[in-house]
Structure formats: C-alpha cells, structure tokens
Amino acid sequence: MKKQAPLEGLRVVEFLGLGPAPFGCMMLADLGAEVLTLRRPGSELPALVRNRSTLEVDLKDAETLRLVREMAEAADVVVEGFRPGVMERLGLGPDDLSAVNERLVYARMTGWGQTGPLAPTAGHDINYIALSGALHAATRRGGTPMPPANLLGDFGGGAMYLVTAILSAVYERDRTGRGAVLDIGILDGTTYLTSMLHEYRSVGHWSDEPGTNRLDTGAPYYDVYPCADGMFVAIGALEDPFFTVLLEVLGLESELADGRHDPASWPALRERIAAAVLTRTRDEWAEAAGSTDACLTPVLGLAEAPSHPQVRDRDILAADGRGGWTPRLPIGYREEPASADGLVRSWLTQRDRAGRPITS
C-alpha cells in the first residue's frame, strides 16, 4: 500500500519566477502538494521546475485572468515572486484574491521584501547575503568574501523560509479559518540564519575580523586543506576527542592537542596539519579517516558525490536520465504529477452545495 504523501490535497498556484520560489514550490510538490505552475506563453522553463504541472497563461488576456482568479479561488496557496506592485496592477494582488477566498495563503517571495528603500530595486543572492552579514562571514583572513554559489540566500534564506512560512500559515488557517499574506524576503531569511553568529558576537565569542574565529577557517582544525594530488579534504575536528583522533589519523604527536584552543597556537598548528595532509592523496585520506571520528572528509565535486557510499545509502540522488542526478526528498516524492488541464478541471469542479470551491 502506497504511503500518503504529507501534503497530499494541498493546492498551490505558482506564478513562475526564478530561484527561491521555484525551489520552494518544488519542495511542496515533492512533499505531495498539487502545484499548478503558471508561466508566460513561449517562455523557457528555468531550473527547478520539476515534479509539477505547468500551464501557459497570458495575464494580459481578460478571459485568462478570469480563469486564473477561479484557480486562486479554489487554491490553498498562491506563490508569486514579482516586484512589489506587479500583481496588484494585474488585479491578482492579495486583497483581490483574498476577497474571493478568505482561506487563501498568499506568499510573496522577493529579495528585499515588500517594504523598505530597496524593495523596488533589483538584486540577486550575492546582494542579499552581503547586507545580511552572511557573506562577510565567508571570508578568509586577508582574503575576499567567497559567495557559496546561490545556496545561502536563494535557497537557505529564501526557499526554506518560504516553505516554513507557508506551512505555518496553513496550520494556523486550519485553526482560525482565515488565510494570510506572507512577505518573504531573502534578506530577512538570510539574516535569521546568522542568529548564532550574532549571539556569539554579543558575548565576545565572534569577531568581525575575517578568518579569526573557529568556524570561519580561523581555527586550523576547521578548514580545508590541499592533498598530494591537488584535491582537498575538509577537517572539522572541533571537539577534543575528535581532534585526538584526527592527530592519530594524520600521524601527528598527541602533544599538539595541548593548548589548541589558544588562537596564539593556531599558525604553528596549521602548518603541521597542512604538511601532514600533503603527504597523501585525497582518496587515501578519505579511506584512512572514513571509519573514524576524525571529522575528515573528501571535498567532492557534484559528479563525484553520487558515488559516495553514504550518499548512496541515503537514496538522496536519483538518475535524471540525462547522465546527471536529481536530489530528492526521501519522503513524499511523486514523480508523475497530474496534467495541468487535469488539475484545473479537478479544482474548478470540486465545489460545495453553495457553489464555493472546496478547500482543504
């Protein structure tokens, strides 16, 4: 018997954008929601539009707008990622749609949020994480801040914040009977991700000087090191017992553990660790440390990650049929969504005796 997906029956209308909103809607679909993705006629599909149905709509056409409003009336959630004011000009803003569906959760996904001096301006992940302080934390001593692709802002601070807010609003609606308007800003979500750093800084355990803290490559036992073959290993032996094992794996004397928490000892300790790591290849170190608590792992490329035994065991990558891989959630994953036409017919015919759409 097939297990019911966690969000089965949840109906989502997505106005297709880029980055965080598609990722968030992909996650909702992977968890079983019925996501109907609306896109401009003739537009190319961006990344992350999988496991859900797409429908081309011309929002300048009056009849199409009427149909879109009907779909929103039948939906549980609407997700849009346009600049502030765009949906209002189309007559599809929160006030317009909430007037016909008071249970609707209306999620607005932008970089800066709906308010503030930067709200009407353009930006990307790198800009949002720069203002949040998160990009500054990704800096080596004397180096330049290094953006971690667009993983931190778009997906960590944006999409995950979006999904959490939507599910919270749906839960609240089930108690109150009323939906909500969600103002989701990547700047806001990324700033929330820096909570621990702000707390550490307030009590004197974090410095704004790059590369001087335990978690920003300041500590030699939390850093990335080159190997004999030019590849890299990541070391994260923060705790004393793990550092002791690391020394054993690297063939270094146990006395190096003495005083290792004193930043004054870090430069010399870094030299010893770096010299040891250079004596073997990445994969040799991976094999030597693999079954230990040394907290030493190989730095793998995207093409290499699927072959690692731990990744294979967790079943978190599926072959995409194009020679690549698709990350997936182990729960609620649905590979064949209903057709867009099928969803529209289903949503618009499920009405109660008063003629109103039946919502979950």
Q: Which of 96, 124, 183, 261 is catalytic?
A: 124
Sign of CA dihedral 217, 223, 228, 229: negative
Three-state DSSP at 159 gives helix
Bridge partners of residue 190, in order along the sequence: none
Eight-class DSSP state of 94: H
Q: In degrees, to the nearest 5, what angle opens at C-alpha 350 toward C-alphas 344 and 352?
A: 150
**Distance (Å, rounded) from C-alpha 155 to C-alpha 318?**
20
Give me 43's structure tokens: 């537009």
**Distance (Å, rounded) from C-alpha 299 to C-alpha 247?**
19
Q: Which of 30, 125, 154, 216 is catalytic?
A: 154
Q: Is 308 a catalytic residue?
A: no
**Distance (Å, rounded) from C-alpha 340 to C-alpha 108?**
23
**Distance (Å, rounded) from C-alpha 330 to C-alpha 333?**
7
Give me 360's structure tokens: 């979950």
DSSP string, 12-73: EEEE--STHHHHHHHHHHHTT-EEEEEE-TTPPP-TT--SSEEEE--TTSHHHHHHHHHHHH
**Distance (Å, rounded) from C-alpha 144 to C-alpha 46?**
30
- Which residue, among 195, 193, 118, 106, has the nearest Cα to 158 in the 3D structure? 193
Q: Catalytic residue positions? A: 124, 154
